[in-house]
Structure 1
Amino acid sequence: MMKTVKAGSLQIAYLELGPVDGPPIVLLHGFPYDVHAYDEVAKILASTGKRCFTPYLRGFGPTRFLDGQAMRSGEQAAIGADLLAFLDALKIEKAVLAGYDWGGRAACVVAALWPERVSGLVSCGGYSIQNIAKEHAPVSPEAEHLLWYQYYLHGSRGRAGLTANRKAFCHLLWRLWSPTWRFTEAAFETTAAAFENDDFVEVVIHSYRHRFGLVDGDPAYRHIESRLAAQPTITVPSLVLEGAADAVDPPAKDDPFVGYFTGPYRRQRLEGIGHNVPQEAPEKFADGILSLSG
């Protein structure tokens, strides 16, 4: 069921499923995806008595800025603040947070800075809080190659290309990032409607420029970014899920995240699964949440 709530600087649209008295689970999508990545996950969790909330991130779907003049920031502090405001607006004192891509980053931000609000964390992609001060350091040519889409969006040509070809651009990323996933065109079209948000291009462009220190962030979130710059550890019970076939963020053999998680922690590799873990492997994603929430 689609609902909306005023939360921080946004009117957030979200799906809710499950008994009203069930333990809360917040499911967070990434780019370029939307809430429908969790359709099957939410059904599984609701059938076990969990109450699932799946919000559209800023710049996606029916979520809107309350102030027409507000900066359309896509920085990590902004999406983390949105998640915290969402919990506050719905009076959710504590929840399991689960996400991937941008959604996983928002979940990591809240888990790191406001652990008292988080009973468990499922993050695809591991510790995804950006270390912006080090983003200019070169990585291997193979790793640089995977980030072509980010570099493309750094320039005016990329902005124009995303504006003119947002569906085709995102469709390409779906295919490249999840090479083993045979998604239907109907599934893509259902999600692609979320990219028609008037703020989509500006939020996406800002996100991929800010993370490289190419543009300033929103002053409203400067205090959060300063805390994130210290790369705070995550103390809540955490599970990192990684798709073995993820072609944009392939999992490393050795665990690069273990030092960032100081509470109970597990890392699990999912064979044959790409970047969009909850939509490609809903049962395994739901099982991961249930392993933390009971």
Structure 2
Amino acid sequence: MAPLRPTGHTPGMEDLRRIRTPRLEIAYTEHGPPDGPPVVLLHGFPYAPAAYAEVVPPLVAAGRRCIVPYLRGYGPTRFLAAETPRSGQQAALGQDLLELLDALAIPRATVAGYDWGGRAACILAALWPERVSGLVSCTGYNIQDIAASARPAAPEQERRLWYQYYFHSERGRAGLEADRRGIARLLWRLWSPEWHFDETTFAASAAAFDNPDFVRVVIQSYRHRFGYAAGDPALEEVEVALSRQPRITVPTIAPHGGADGVGPAEASAGHHRYFTGPYERRVLPGIGHNVPQEAPEAFARAVLDLPI
């Protein structure tokens, strides 16, 4: 196993692996003993596996097998068929994670993530709990309630969601196509106002946005969650199950950045109602939305505090 370098380097790019699932060729890196308890670390939008560069070493030191995939639409991950919808809907993220575990012949794993990655992890834990030994989900319960998406939020929260409304328009799609790095850099600043990342750190993740399907997957994701875009028909059964807002039974730790600029910490204060198993919420003062990159020790600690 090649050692990981500090933040700013994409973990193990020189050791990038690929594996095929029914829909994707998923690019991922793997670190630690192959027979160690598996942990899947999942990035969000607009981020990349580089977010976990400083999370993986303490997990490996504790004997964990760490798998860090690129989500659909990011980095070297590719769709296998031209006719597969370039969907970023929540069911797709959860199904991709399930199929990755199947392809790697992993019967059960700790799953940990934030933003889109946290959503995939929550979905796996909710619908296929037998595959999950523990869950780390930043900001708590991340399964979308699409039926309630037309219900207005408080004005301050509506302001935070400007980028989602922007992506609902063709102007927003064209804007993301024209300057995906510029939009991502702005969101990093707004969502993590106390994190002063440098250009090298940003560039290590921004390379993942060059995927040819990035814009289509992102735009479909933000339109679908408001009911403005159809989902992949092959995933309709999963979406119906998610519409019931299923409870999560597996042991869960929910870190939430106290300075999160898109989802304030108070938003997850009542999320315990979605968890019927052991659940602990940890608010991290001064930390924004990108918890694994801003607070890698706290994120790793959350993983290690869960049962194997």
Give 1:126's aligned residue.
Answer: 140
Judging changes above 3 Å, is the alpha-carbon distance between structure 1 residues 177 and 198 closer, same or farther for their aligned structure 2 residues? same
Q: Deviations for 1:165-218, whole angstroms, at most 9, x for unmatched residues?
A: 101010000111001111110011111000000000000000000000001100
1:43 Cα deviation from its structure 2 partner: 1.2
Partners of 1:48 and 1:90 in 2: CA distance:
21
Structure 1 residues 149-158 or 249-258, which shifts more?
A: 249-258
Alignment TM-score, normalising by the size of structure 2: 0.94
**Superposed displacement of residue 291, structure 1:** 0.3
1:22 maps to amino acid: G
Match of 1:177 in 2: 191
**Aligned partners of 2:205 and 2:118: how far apart in 1?**
18
Structure 2 gap ranges (5+):
1-14
One-letter amino acid matched to 1:82 = D
Q: CA deviation at 1:32?
A: 0.2
Aligned to 2:235: 221
Provide the C-alpha distance between the structure 1 equivalents of 2:99 and 2:206, rounded to a whole number of angstroms.
26
Shift, 1:293, TM fit? 3.6
1:203 maps onto 2:229 in alignment: no
| Residue in structure 2 matched with residue 44 of structure 1 by the alignment | 58
Q: Are 1:281 and 2:295 matched, yes or no?
A: yes
Query: Which of 11, 17, 25 is the aligned partner of 2:39?
Result: 25
1:193 aligns with 2:220: no
* CA deviation after TM superposition for structure 1 residue 8, in Å: 2.5
Contact conserved, 1:56 with 1:63, CA < 8 A, in 2?
yes
- The letter for the 2-side match of 1:242 is H
Can you list the C-alpha shifts for 1:271-294, whole angstroms capped at 9, x where unaligned? 110000000000010000000046
Structure 1 distance, partners of 2:249, 2:98, is 17
* Residue 83 in structure 1 maps to residue 97 in structure 2: yes
Contact kept? 2:140, 2:268, Cα under 8 Å: no
**8 A contact 1:3–1:13 mirrored in 2:** yes
Residue 251 of structure 2 contacts residue 307 of structure 2 at CA under 8 Å; is this kept in 1? no
Where does the alignment leave 5 or more consecutive residues of structure 1 unmatched? none
Letter in 1 for 2:89: E
Aligned-CA RMSD value: 0.9
Q: Structure 1 residue 55: deviation in Å?
A: 0.4
Deviation at 1:40, TM superposition (A): 0.8
Using the alignment, how far apart are the partners of 1:8 and 1:22 within structure 2? 26
Q: For 1:102-154, what per-residue CA distance to the aligned partner results, in whole angstroms no more than 9, with x for missing partners?
A: 00000000000000000000000110100100000011100100000000000
On the 8 A contact 1:153/1:208 being kept in 2, the answer is yes
In the alignment, does 2:258 pair up with 1:244?
Answer: yes
Query: In the alignment, is residue 160 of structure 1 matched against residue 174 of structure 2?
Result: yes
Q: Distance in 2 between matches of 1:8 and 1:226?
A: 21
Aligned to 1:263: 277
Cα distance, 1:205–1:254 mapped onto 2, change above 3 Å: closer
CA distance in 1, matches of 2:129, 2:89: 20
**Aligned residue-pair number:** 294
1:254 Cα offset (Å): 7.1
Counterpart contact for 1:96–1:121, Cα < 8 Å: yes
C-alpha displacement of 1:253: 7.1
Give the structure 2 partner of residue 112 of structure 1: 126
Following TM superposition, the consecutive aligned residue runs of length 4 or more in structure 1 with deviations greater than 3 angstroms are: none
Three-state SS of the structure 2 residue aligned to 1:179 is coil
The 1:253/1:9 distance shift into structure 2, 3 A limit, reads closer
What amino acid sits opposite 1:194 in the alignment? A
